[in-house]
Chain A
Amino acid sequence: MFSNFDYDVIVRSLPYLFYTGMTFTLLLTALATIIGILIGTLLALMRLSGVPFLTVPAAAYVNLMRSVPFVLMIFWFYFLVPYIGQWVTFSAQPIKVGAFASCLVTFTLFEAAFFCEIMRAGIQSIPRGQVAAGQALGMTYSTVTGYIVLPQAFRNMVPVLLTQTIVLFQDTSLVYVISVTDFLGAASKVAERDGRLVEMYTFAACVYFVVSFAASRAVQLVHRRIAIIR
């Protein structure tokens, strides 16, 4: 199988693979993680608020997102977002949304549902006494949440959040369904153009493995550094 393995095709396509492909993949991963955690935290607070007006829509959203195949979401959003944009902005035609923006919206909204559940577990892991102590000192809900609960919940959940980010990093390859060139998309294009499927897909698999493995080791290191002393 490897007797006529062409290493040269890999070397030749490195700039394209990394500059075009990996940049997209990493940018999408990073932005979707950051915005996803922000929205997810908000959703988690809504779910835990005990106010039906907030808990019901948040729970419905999370359950909906978690029960639809991701590829379907990517596909669906790509065709729907322009029309939603048109409806929101009252414009005459569907607004033009680039493939990147569409992917970013989809990934963010989808990941927000997962980050919500992680943050919800994190918030619930904080002892009730911590909230009581904050309240007893005269702190309002927002102060207790912002200075006592969320910082601890976030730090407790960092390993899980980062692990979810690694999954997200791998999931970005699903953008192939709307023909966006991420890292795997770039590899795939070269593979088909040059008829070098074995080389390019093997190389892509190795890169995903190395990045994901290194990242999960880094997660452990980060966790050890920021763990709260109890």
Chain B
Amino acid sequence: MSAMIDIAGLCKWYGPTQVLNDCTTAVASGEVVVVCGPSGSGKSTLIKCVNGLEPFQKGHIAVDGISVGDPKTNLPKLRARIGMVFQHFELFPHLSVMRNLTLPQIKVLRRNAEEAQQKGMRLLERVGLSGHAGKFPGELSGGQQQRVAIARALAMDPIAMLFDEPTSALDPEMIQEVLDVMVGLAKEGMTMIVVTHEMGFARKVAHRVVFMDKGEIVEDAPTTEFFGRPRSERAQLFLSKILQH
């Protein structure tokens, strides 16, 4: 089985500080992988390397067979095929919700305005926000904004989706509405890497859990195995802290 996302021996430094150390993992097409670990463990940095938002110094990443680190790779073109959802939504605040969805389609995929609009509307319906197309992001709640952000990424027809702590900046009562959308996506067979502390979500939809600490992948195991009997001490400690409530 060829991997959709292949990460091999990835190392990254910020100046003298090493933030990723020899990370190796692979995500197959249709697979959902949850990345968890204490803060500062390099989870976000790892997935930002996958679409080249963060450069890396050593190792190799390939998405759908295309090398991310290769200077000859057309990064914008590759990124257009990988959806990304950010912790702080990052909707464009000066554009309406609909324009947030159509602008990238028109400018990057060269779709015509009408087509982009139809696609945008379908996805807004899907995330339950079709009534908000004309509003500005600032007029929506955090949960609604994040659902728009997911719709915006999906409008590009991505082959894989990266989620960078999509619920960490949300009020507790809004977390579920965002997770519901993500569960739906996972069930449809979207390839996903999700950095999250939502262990309930991980248990429910993840095929595999990657546990990171201090820039290293400490554990990479099928979900049931990870929650059942994590091999590493650090993962056990992390789970005991996060699951005791």
A residues touching B (Cβ–Cβ < 8 Å)? Answer: 127, 129-130, 132-140, 143, 147-148, 151-152, 155, 228-230
Cross-chain contact B104 with A130 (CB below 8 angstroms): no
Minimum C-beta distance from B202 to chain A (A): 23
Cross-chain contact B86 with A138 (CB below 8 angstroms): no
Cross-chain contact B94 with A152 (CB below 8 angstroms): yes
Bound-state Cα–Cα, A133 to B83, Å: 10
Cross-chain contact B53 with A132 (CB below 8 angstroms): yes
Bound-state Cα–Cα, A98 to B79, Å: 53
Among A133, A139, A148, max chain B CB count under 10 A is at: A133
Cross-chain contact B94 with A155 (CB below 8 angstroms): yes
Contacts of A135 in B (CB 8 A): 53, 76, 79
Cross-chain contact B93 with A139 (CB below 8 angstroms): no
Contacts of A132 in B (CB 8 A): 48, 53, 86, 90
B interface secondary structure, majority:
mixed
B residues touching A (Cβ–Cβ < 8 Å)? Answer: 48, 51, 53, 76-84, 86, 88, 90-94, 103-104, 107-109, 136-139, 152-153, 156
Contacts of A229 in B (CB 8 A): 93, 136-139
Cross-chain contact A129 with B86 (CB below 8 angstroms): yes
Cross-chain contact A137 with B136 (CB below 8 angstroms): no
* Given known A228-B93, A229-B136, A229-B139, contact A139–B88 (CB-CB < 8 A): no
Cross-chain contact B104 with A138 (CB below 8 angstroms): yes
Q: List 12 A-B contacts (CB under 8 A).
A: A129-B86, A130-B90, A133-B84, A137-B80, A137-B156, A138-B81, A139-B107, A143-B108, A151-B94, A229-B93, A229-B137, A230-B138
Bound-state Cα–Cα, A229 to B139, Å: 7
Nearest-neighbor residue (CB-CB) of B90 within chain A: A133
Cross-chain contact A138 with B80 (CB below 8 angstroms): yes
* Given known A132-B86, A228-B94, contact A138–B77 (CB-CB < 8 A): yes
Q: Given contacts A138-B78, A138-B79, could you give 11 more A-B pairs where the C-beta distance is less than 8 Å? A: A129-B88, A136-B86, A137-B80, A138-B76, A138-B81, A148-B92, A152-B92, A228-B94, A228-B138, A229-B93, A229-B136
Partner of B107 from the list A130, A147, A230 (CB cut-off 8 Å) is: A147
Bound-state Cα–Cα, A129 to B79, Å: 15
